[in-house]
Amino acid sequence: MNEFEEQFAILQRIPYKETDLLLSVLGKHIGKDLLTVRSGRKIPNRWKSSFSEGSILLGRIMKIKNYSILTGVINEQYVPDKYPVWTVLALEIMAKMPSLDSSLFELLRRFLQSEGTRKDFDQFLVSFMVKESLQPSLNSCVVCGERRESFPIKASPYLGGYVCEKCGTAETEITVVDYESLLQAYKKKGELTDNMRAFWLDCLESELNAKLVSREGL
Ligand SMILES: [Zn+2]
């Protein structure tokens, strides 16, 4: 029988059929996966987490054809007692990514077990974007690849970065103050400015082709 133990973080819980539950998870070895929990909605009191989002569990998973079924929980390694807005946003980002590499598990675990402050989120976001190569490209044109000469430049959050004059018009003007010096400031302070964070989240939304609804609560 193809059953194994796995540590995973719950990104999203999705009610399924009468009593079942689907869990979108990021596993330490399996990466992003969808687990079926049979009768998962009937046993809310058995575990403290009740399979709530942001929890980290050690469980047993069985693979049957293309399905992953959670056959047991061995222990709960982390259960959140509150949901800061930044935690909700991080979980929404991870839930909306079509796939996630297992190497992101540690990054998410560290963030979930932090206080979930804006600064914690910024560290999570920067590491995540860099690991996924999603950072806005501001050193060369995203269309033709030509190196930029100097700031200010025009950039498009929708195209993912700098657009040279030959390749068209972009809606956002980025100056030294808006990008490079702020990225340096981030490295020194470990926090993003509101503009910088918004710019990166715009890039992420365009990459995902989806709105991040929990941004509205910020
Ligand atoms: Zn160009």
**d(C-alpha 111, C-alpha 123), whole Å:** 8
What is the reported pLDDT for 55? 96
What is the reported pLDDT for 2? 86
**What is the residue-level pLDDT of the chain in tens, covering all 218 positions?**
689 999 999 999 998 888 889 999 999 999 999 999 988 777 655 677 779 999 999 999 999 988 999 999 999 999 999 999 999 999 999 999 999 999 999 999 999 999 999 999 998 998 888 777 776 667 778 788 888 777 677 777 666 677 888 887 766 776 655 556 556 666 777 777 777 788 788 878 888 899 999 998 78
Residues 6+ apart with CB under 8 A from 108: 9, 26, 90, 94, 124
CA of 162 to the centre of ligand 1 (A): 8
Domain 3-78 has CATH 2.60.40.10: no
CA of 212 to the centre of ligand 1 (A): 29
CA of 153 to the centre of ligand 1 (A): 12
CA of 177 to the centre of ligand 1 (A): 22
CA of 170 to the centre of ligand 1 (A): 11
- CA nearest 94: which of 78, 85, 105, 84? 105
CB crowding 192-209: b at 16 or more within 10 Å, else e: bbeebbebbbbbbbbeee
In whole angstroms, what separates CA 48 from the centre of its chain? Answer: 25
Q: Please report, for the chain, the start and end positions of each structural domain, with discontinuous segments joined by +.
A: 3-78, 85-135+179-217
DSSP 97: S
CA of 211 to the centre of ligand 1 (A): 27
CA of 161 to the centre of ligand 1 (A): 11
What is the reported pLDDT for 140? 79
Give the global pTM.
0.80
What is the residue whose two structure tokens read 């709105």? 211
CA of 144 to the centre of ligand 1 (A): 4
CA of 218 to the centre of ligand 1 (A): 34
